[in-house]
Chains A and B, each alone.
Chain A
Amino acid sequence: MSENRKVRPFYWSVRRELWEHSAIYLAPAAAAAVGLLGFLVSTLWLARSVAGAAPKNDSLMMPYVFTAFAVMMIGFLVSIFYCLGALNGERRDRSIQFWKSLPVSDLTTVLAKAAVPMVVLPAVLLAVIVGAQFVMLVLSTIVVLLNGIDPARLWARVDLRLMWTVLPYGLVVNALWLAPLYAWLLLISGWAKRMTFVWALAPPLAVALFERLAFNSTHVIRYLGERLLGGFGEAFSVRGEGKKEIESFSDIDPIHTFSSPHIWGGLAVAGLLLAVIVRLRRSRDPI
């Protein structure tokens, strides 16, 4: 055998996460499937609404938006529970002793696990959403054609170009925005013996409670809410203010987004937490 066979520890570490946690792709796919099924029923009425004039609040885009939203929400939930289990499960079933018997560093392993919510899931969500929306558009076109209507009338009102631009942009922004949250959950996962969800939630809530009673203020809880859901606002609203949704290409403002101290501060915190996690995994015993 060759001495220096090419090995790809990071790639295979990510692959192994996907083997163990098939929900990473199955759950978003299932959400999209439900959306598609509902849409299939709604095509019964599609021809009539395309044939008529476009109303002021056009609802033809609604199924596309809803499906995208549902898939992203499921993806967010999967990310949270994935992170909470990622470093806990391997200690719980003691398989960490198997993983550590191989020439894969703790850094590689932790980065692979962090890559799942940061890189893999956004890519999966994008593929699932775009795939589902494409199927919807094809289905609609067929239905419209069968009814003898010019599909151009449909395409004029269902324009996915903007959505398919905002989506990848928004998924990247959201992932960056949520990086410190994911890192925090991974830290708890590597530290706590059990009840990771409670451990993840308790400290911030305790601080918020203390603040509310001591100073009758709510800065902490508002900041946490911003940290948790602000990414969606930052990604999908004009100037990230969460007031007006993006309606045209000119509304997308990457300079504003990527110069936000929220993003960079969050990434710095995430980096710091990841360094702690690597040290933690190195010395933590199986449970």
Chain B
Amino acid sequence: MACIDARGLRKSYGKTVALEGIDLKVEEGRILGLIGPNGAGKSTALQAILGLIPHEGELTVLGRNPWTAREALMSDVCFIADVAVMPRWMRVWQALDYMDGVHPRFDRAKAEGFLAKTNIKRTSKVRELSKGMTAQLHLALVMAVDARLLVLDEPTLGLDILYRKQFYDSLLNDYFDHSRTIVVSTHQVDEIEHILTDVVFLDQGRIVLDVSMEAYETRFAELLATPEHAATARSLGPIHERQLFGRSILVFDGVDRARLAGLGEVRTPGLADVFVAKMAATFPGREQAA
């Protein structure tokens, strides 16, 4: 059974369409990155998956309809929206007590263990913690829940680089065990690139790319063309080209690497480069504007 199965998932706010009927299937044990510019519909998609907003189209999460069965679903799903949603009046021990009291899959000892590795005091109020510490606290609570799906919506927004790195490191080392599923949305592509097993690009409510990282590596290639081969390379239909120190860097989608090998240095492009290429393709002129 797929962890998340969406068919024709659509959501509009008045006349504004946030999601244009997307199809999305996430198997269990995957780490999916949901990547898109601001307003692409990432948060809307995640909110629908979490049962926070009604939706059109078919959507099942862990076999349930999230809108009608949110409460039951939340026993198996954890979710961090962003660092600002922890109640500011709450003390750390209160958060532990509360989670322990309402969540059937919360392991208090585990949460205490994670907190022991931080500088967070049991008696502190959330409002007294820095943004980074608040994120640590929220992550400690969430990682202590034996959940099947973890949804992270821009979880590291506004954190400094040290906390951001630590956040994803502990997620991968202390939490992920190949039976859980993680869906993370962000527009800071490079930071999550190395932890993903799958990636979905979302733009203006549409999916523009849906690929596993294994497939990504064979499908996409970046060529550092030597000047004399630049014209030949261009004839192979790159999806994107940019200049760096007088050399052309071309990104190819679905072109055999063997054909590129003689034209210069070939490597796997970073997600950010493919992202830019894809975005420029769906909306010409955007790149120049940015």
Q: A residues near B, CB below 8 A?
A: 1, 3-5, 7-9, 11-13, 15-16, 19-20, 90, 93-106, 282-283
Cα distance, A109 to B164, chains bound together (Å): 33
Chain A residues near B103 (CB, 8 Å)? Answer: 7, 102-103
- A102 near B104: Cβ-Cβ < 8 Å: no
With A103-B71, A104-B71 known as contacts, the answer to whether A7 contacts B104 (CB < 8 A) is: yes
- A98 near B101: Cβ-Cβ < 8 Å: no
- B85 near A98: Cβ-Cβ < 8 Å: yes
Interface 9-mer from B19-27, B75-83, B180-188: B75-83
With A5-B104, A100-B70, A102-B74 known as contacts, the answer to whether A19 contacts B99 (CB < 8 A) is: no
- A95 near B94: Cβ-Cβ < 8 Å: no
Cα distance, A11 to B97, chains bound together (Å): 12
Interface 9-mer from B48-56, B199-207, B265-273: B48-56
Q: Which residue of B lies closest to A2 (CB)?
A: B104
Chain B residues near A11 (CB, 8 Å)? Answer: 101
Q: How far is the CB of B141 from chain A (nearest CB, A)?
A: 9
Cα distance, A282 to B138, chains bound together (Å): 23
- B87 near A98: Cβ-Cβ < 8 Å: yes
- Contacts A101-B78, A104-B71 aside, 6 further interface pairs with beta carbons under 8 A come to A5-B106, A8-B101, A11-B101, A100-B74, A103-B103, A104-B74
Cα distance, A12 to B101, chains bound together (Å): 6
- A-B pair count, CB < 8 Å, reads 86
Cα distance, A101 to B70, chains bound together (Å): 9
Chain B residues near A3 (CB, 8 Å)? Answer: 104-105
- B88 near A15: Cβ-Cβ < 8 Å: no
With A101-B78, A105-B71 known as contacts, the answer to whether A19 contacts B89 (CB < 8 A) is: yes
- B86 near A95: Cβ-Cβ < 8 Å: yes
Partner among B53, B72, B77, B94 whose Cβ is within 8 Å of the Cβ of A16 = B94
Partner among A1, A103, A282 whose Cβ is within 8 Å of the Cβ of B72 = A103
- Does B28 make an interface contact (CB < 8 A)? no
- A103 near B104: Cβ-Cβ < 8 Å: yes
Sampled A-B contacts (11; CB under 8 Å): A1-B146, A5-B105, A12-B97, A19-B91, A19-B94, A93-B88, A98-B81, A98-B85, A100-B70, A103-B71, A282-B70
- Which residues of B (139-159) have their CB < 8 Å from a CB of A? 146
Cα distance, A105 to B104, chains bound together (Å): 14
Chain B residues near A13 (CB, 8 Å)? Answer: 102
- Cβ contacts B34-62/A at 8 Å (1 or 0 each): 00000000000000001011100000000
Q: Which residue of A lies closest to B142 (CB)?
A: A101
Chain A residues near B94 (CB, 8 Å)? Answer: 16, 19
With A1-B107, A100-B70, A101-B50 known as contacts, the answer to whether A19 contacts B90 (CB < 8 A) is: yes
- Does B283 make an interface contact (CB < 8 A)? no
Partner among A8, A20, A104, A283 whose Cβ is within 8 Å of the Cβ of B87 = A20
Chain A residues near B81 (CB, 8 Å)? Answer: 94, 97-98, 101
- Cβ contacts B104-120/A at 8 Å (1 or 0 each): 11110000000000000
Chain A residues near B146 (CB, 8 Å)? Answer: 1
Q: Which residue of B lies closest to A16 (CB)?
A: B98
- B87 near A93: Cβ-Cβ < 8 Å: yes
- Does B129 make an interface contact (CB < 8 A)? no
Q: How far is the CB of B48 from chain A (nearest CB, A)?
A: 12
Q: How far is the CB of A283 from chain B (nearest CB, A)?
A: 7
- Does B276 make an interface contact (CB < 8 A)? no
- B85 near A97: Cβ-Cβ < 8 Å: yes
Chain B residues near A95 (CB, 8 Å)? Answer: 85-88
Most chain B beta carbons < 10 A, residue from A7, A93, A102:
A102
Chain A residues near B102 (CB, 8 Å)? Answer: 7-9, 12-13, 102-104
Cα distance, A151 to B138, chains bound together (Å): 60
